[in-house]
Amino acid sequence: MRLRLLEATVQCLAEHGWAGTSTTLISQRAGVSRGAQLHHFPTKTDLVVAAVEHLTLVRGDELALAAAALPTGPRRTRAVLEMLGDHFTSDVFVAALELWVAARTDPALLAVVGPFERVTGRETHKLTVEMLDADESQPGSRELVQATLDLIRGLGLANTISNDQARRSRILDRWAAVLDDELPRRSKEQG
Amino acid sequence: MRLRLLEATVQCLAEHGWAGTSTTLISQRAGVSRGAQLHHFPTKTDLVVAAVEHLTLVRGDELALAAAALPTGPRRTRAVLEMLGDHFTSDVFVAALELWVAARTDPALLAVVGPFERVTGRETHKLTVEMLDADESQPGSRELVQATLDLIRGLGLANTISNDQARRSRILDRWAAVLDDELPRRSKEQG
């Protein structure tokens, strides 16, 4: 029942936005009584933060599995970018974006979302370093991985109000070539 | 009076977000009567769209002026990125972000914001091509300019819930070096 509530919350945020997401709508969508919902999550903020935290963890596990299945060799960089692009255009990203923007002008929400976003950001950075086999001991390497994730976040934002897939694909082709030219790697096998 | 209303609207969006911005709050902030406001702008959507359109035009003029004052020579690329970074962390960007996210789940708002964002995007791209002296006839050049703007948009988003200036500055240092390596230019004077 807790899980159904969390998944319904992310779906509501993605479909109706922060302002359009009410605890009533979530309990209807999850098929859970209001009383049971209030028992698990007393406020909208409790519910929303638990939902995005939970599904980001699930998605993080999926990413780690997908990372293990990535090809090696010359196509690897582009495959990493494709995977990240998929992640940052998913319903989970869109739900997180709604929270992020709402938190900007809601101090109580920001107090919860802020620290959570910092942890998520660090974990995504670490996974990306591993996937790209980046050598962070070399100058400029860390910043290029950060730029990659900020690019992908910008592409995620661009995709929210129109289907941006064709343009995104061409940009990621070019970015993969840039990384293969510019990013120092730990081993010489890839890139 | 129209101008005061438009500027108050952008300030309210930046400070209180889309959901927290009411026509009452805007008229108070602008020091304009409700009657006069309703005469100029019958709905919140009319007011908000006119305000962001107006201030993006003003900001576009400021960008064009700043572009004319950019240094030439080896420091030019970094100066262009600094200027764009300032633009995408301003109150005008934050107000546009609020509209963008609200439009995602509000079809009436999207019908107005969508076409406006496409025009703005094209103009910013064109200006960036000029500022960087990019040769778009060369393969991959267009995508590298697009990637630059998507990176800057991602950095703008990252800056909304924490002051990200130091990190952004290091990333833009690195990205300027990449562009100088990778971006084909029309003349050979720069980069």
What pLDDT sits at residue A117? Answer: 86
Domain ranges of chain B: 54-182
Tell me if B153 and A152 make a contact (CB, 8 A cut-off). no
What pLDDT sits at residue A171? Answer: 98
What pLDDT sits at residue A57? Answer: 83
- Which chain A residue is nearest to residue B162, measuring alpha carbons? A114
Give yes or no for residue B191 having a pLDDT over 50.
Answer: no
Give yes or no for residue B190 having a pLDDT over 60.
Answer: no
Give yes or no for residue B37 having a pLDDT over 60.
Answer: yes
What's the rounded mean pLDDT across residues A113-142?
92
**pLDDT tens digits, A41-59:** 998 888 988 988 887 788 7
- Which chain A residue is nearest to residue B146, measuring alpha carbons? A171
Whole-number Å distance between alpha carbons of A1 and A179: 44
What pLDDT sits at residue A190? Answer: 46
Residue type, A27: S
What's the rounded mean pLDDT across residues B34-42?
92
* pLDDT-based confidence at residue A188 (cuts at 50, 70, 90): low
**pLDDT tens digits, B53-97:** 887 888 788 888 889 999 999 899 999 999 999 999 999 899 999
**pLDDT tens digits, A70-96:** 999 989 999 999 999 999 999 989 999
Tell me if A143 and B174 make a contact (CB, 8 A cut-off). yes
Work out the percent of chain A whose per-residue pLDDT is above 90.
70
A185 bridge partner residues:
A134
What are the structure tokens assigned to B41, written together?
């702008």
Contacts of A167 in chain B (CB under 8 A): 146
